[in-house]
Structure 1
Amino acid sequence: MKIKINLTTQIIIGTVLGIILGAVLGPKIVGIKIVGDIFLRLIQMAVIPLVFCTVIAAIGKLPIKQLGRLGMRIVLWFTITTLIAALAGLVLGWLFHPGVGLHLTLDTALTKEITSNKVSSTDMILGFFPTNIFESLAQGNTIQVIIFALLFGFVLSKANTNQQYDSILMGLQQLNQLLVSLIQVVLRLAPFGIGALMAAVTADNGLTVLIPLIKFLGIFGMGTLLFLIGLFVMIMLRAHLSLHTVMHGFANILLIAMTTTSSAASLPVEMHDAEKRLGVSKEISELVLPLGMALNSNGLAMYLALACVTMTQFYGLSLSFMMMLKIVLLAIVACLGTVAVPGGGLVALTIIVPALGLPLESIALLAGIDWFAGIFRATLNVVGDTTTAIMIAADEHELSQVSVSI
């Protein structure tokens, strides 16, 4: 009987083999790094158009009435919780130094560019807004692309009241599906690409590469637990839910998120239990949860911020205030449109790492433990969306006290 090994297991095997080869063969195998570099470039080439299409389609398909007062409230909750998660990741990395102990070398030119890159707050804010969207797309400026996509999506939703622009919306959704399929094809190369990068890193640094990875997972797990407790306390106080109701209502949601490591796979259970076990109205659930899956991600924001701080520590770089601010902002915007994508953590890293001036190959270390980190990411993503739905329902008097008393 033919045994089929899933992609996650293949990546873990590739990572382990890469570490073994790097440790055994040493400098002889450093040249294999080119295989990993090609893989990262293939992932990166589809990211900007994917984010562009996903954000426009997610906003554009919503009726304009839902983008009014209620839409602004949803966006506000998404932004606040994601910002707090990103800040938490930054603080955790700064306090516990998961990347210290591993000394990777950074190109001299890159080092000067990162350390001397002093940008005023005015220039940084102006940098969010594109002057030419085609230039932004060509340069891979994620923040500018997302700003344009949000505005274009809003205009598309407003103009499409009589479905006269359904063909444009359908075209964007179809293009998005093709780009997702392209990323799925590229991800089949992940065991080889990540294995090659891990072999090269291990050849240069030895088995000491394992220590920061274990520290990273431990710190991320601790941060996830603390954030979950904070979210649960918030809805207990604001929505007047009992501890028993919260535990009962989130039991299946947590189980599915942790075992599938997928926000998309968790959505059906999330919507069912939000309505039946937590008392959220069907109208709020059907609006907030699918939109949250596409545009909101507390777990990914925390992961990205912590990962970026960890990577700067790999290279012995000090973090200025402006760089910390940039990490937080990039962690927030990189979440848009990548949460439901297969390999979303890896895809988001290919957005944020080059934007910080760090080399793409630094992604390899964290890519090797991506499945384990995905457990924490998906759990926090899904719970963050559900708690937002509860808060919105409570504010709109759409939370059934009868259902939540079970």
Structure 2
Amino acid sequence: MTKKIKISMSGQILIAMVLGIIVGLTFKSFSSNLKIVGDIFIKMIQMGIILLVMGQVIEAVGNIDLGQFGRMIRQTVIIFFTSSILAALWGAIMVIVFKPGLGISIKGLSDNNIKVGQSMSFSKVISDFFPSNIFESMSKGSIVQVIVFSIVFGIALSAFCHSTNEFQLLDILKQFNKVILKMISLIMTIAPIGIFALIASAIGKLGIKVIIPMMKYLIIYGFATITYLVFWILCITLVTKLNFIYLIKNMWDMSLMALATTSSAVTFPTELKDTKEKLGVKDKVAQIVLSLGMSLNSNGSAMHMSITIITIAQIYGIKYDLQTYMYIVLLATLASLANAVVPGAALVSLAIVVPQMGLPVESIALFAGVDWFVGMLRTILNVDSDVFSSILVAHKNDGIDTKVFYESN
């Protein structure tokens, strides 16, 4: 009896990309007709984005017991937000300096939907974070306003549930979120077809020259990830005085798991076990910080979105001012709160943030060819930053067993 070979979603997307390139180069006139298939795929992803973002953020915040929002959890949330915004900022700096989007020709690719935002005052930018009508924000797809509403709603939900001991609404929300994630997962099963159509139509118009420069984007993204991890390790060793060689060795298995699976959820059991048994982080810290980190701390996602938005802008020859770059950093940080735990999460994330800057959603197709490598980089930074955060919190709360840390090797 022959055993069926199961190809991962990333593998299917990679195959689809290769086939799309071949068809686009071989059947140029025919491939242009495939664009409608790709457009339908993108719209199917977008139709659930607002509900996905709202549900994930409300559930993450609503799960926190504000009545027991003690010193440790306050420290955790501060570290999460600070590290995510620094990751997004570092990614933006790398792209601004090295400009991976320059030299990528998009002549022939749709650019008539580009809306370059006009410069606004700082007070206007801040005030626009807050919605006056959440339904209007949802209909316009204003993600930042939706996230701000979701955070406030989540705080109110948490206060209500934990003060009345009635969790029915939170439980219903969790079930609803599972349905939305299932819907996105079902849509992502046709991702290879959608990516094939988008790549084939783009290659048919532009040729192979549009794909090859993506390697520069990937190299810069990889460099940004590695240097940010080094920054994290330096912070940990300086603050805690732990040996950095032991730190790297004790995190090796979980880091390899993150790279191999490209999934934070799949890596979580190994991450939790090694954090306690190799790094010496005590249960009371590891369980809380790592569990919260799954939804509230996504350094890799924040960096990915920041880098990609600016790269796309460079591809289309759009230049932003400093204020807009800072808005992008904040947008990427807030959007990372809604990091989707589904196959092809990188594509889902881009569908959230790209339209917010008035950039063509079709540009997402250009990044499909490096999706698997992007997933590796996103995941290792997401996972390792959660662990680093738990070490910092443990250090502040006498939660590290140094004997375990040094004797586990």
CA distance in 2, matches of 1:251, 1:107: 44
Q: Could you say which residue in structure 2 is the equivalent of 1:44?
A: 46
Q: How far, CA to CA, are the matches of 1:233 and 1:167 in structure 2?
A: 44
Change in CA separation of 1:397 and 1:302 when aligned onto 2, cut-off 3 Å: same
Which amino acid letter does the alignment assign opposite residue 343 of structure 2? P
Once the 2 structures are TM-superposed, how far is the Cα of residue 404 of structure 1 from its aligned partner?
Answer: 1.6
1:4 counterpart SS class:
coil
In structure 2, the partner of 1:207 is 208
RMSD: 1.7
CA distance in 2, matches of 1:72, 1:159: 20
Contact 2:110 2:362 survives alignment (8 Å):
no
Residues 1:74 and 2:89 aligned together: no
Distance change in 2, residues 1:212/1:108 (3 Å)? closer
**1:41-190 alignment, distance < 5 Å:** 41-105=43-107, 110-111=113-114, 113-114=115-116, 117-161=118-162, 164-190=165-191
1:10 alignment partner in structure 2: 12
Contact in 2 for aligned 1:32/1:196 (Cα 8 Å): yes
Q: State the partner residue of 1:378.
A: 379
Deviations for 1:65-110, whole angstroms, at most 9, x for unmatched residues? Answer: 4434333221211111111111111111111111111122476754
Could you list the runs of 4 or more consecutive aligned residues of structure 1 that deviate by over 6 angstroms after TM superposition? none
Q: Do the aligned residues in 2 keep the contact of 1:293 with 1:339 (CA within 8 Å)? A: no
Question: Letter of the aligned partner of 1:53 in structure 2?
Answer: G
Instruction: Specify the alignment match of 2:365 in structure 1.
Output: 364
Residue deviations 1:152-172, cap 9 Å, x none? Answer: 212222222266431101100
Which runs of 5 or more structure 1 residues have no equivalent in the other structure? Answer: none
Is the 8 Å Cα contact of residues 301 and 339 (structure 2) preserved in structure 1? no
Helix, strand or coil for the counterpart of 2:279?
coil
Count the aligned residue pairs.
404
Offset of residue 194 of structure 1 = 0.8
Mapped contact 2:259–2:377 kept (Cα < 8 A): yes
**Structure 1 pair 138/241, CA: closer, same or farther in 2 (3 Å)?**
same
- Is the 2:214–2:367 Cα contact (8 Å) retained in structure 1? yes
CA shift digits 1:286-307 (9 cap, x unpaired): 1111111112111111111111
CA contact (8 A) 1:239 1:394 kept: yes
Letter in 2 for 1:223: A
Q: How far 1:360 sits from its partner (Å)?
A: 0.6
Q: What TM-score, normalized by structure 2, do the two folds share?
A: 0.94
**Residue aligning to 1:335:** 336
Alpha-carbon distance, 1:381 to partner: 0.5
With 370-379 and 143-152 compared, the bigger mean Cα shift is at 143-152
**CA distance in 2: counterparts of 1:272 and 1:191, whole angstroms:** 34
State the partner residue of 1:248.
Answer: 249
- Cα displacement (A) at 1:128: 0.7
Cα distance in structure 2, aligned partners of 1:68 and 1:354? 38
Is 1:297–1:335's contact at 8 Å kept on the other side of the alignment?
A: yes
Aligned residue for 2:47, secondary structure, equals helix
TM-superposed CA distance for 1:224, in Å, is 1.1
Counterpart amino acid of residue 327 in structure 2: K
Q: Secondary structure at the match of 1:292?
A: helix
Q: What is the TM-score of this pair, normalised by structure 1?
A: 0.95
CA contact (8 A) 1:248 1:277 kept: no
SS in 2 for 1:75: helix
Of the three residues 34, 37, 47, the one matched with 1:35 is 37
Cα pair distance change 1:101/1:122, threshold 3 Å = same
Q: 1:279 to 1:65 in 2, by over 3 A?
A: farther
Alpha-carbon separation, structure 1, partners of 2:95 and 2:163: 49
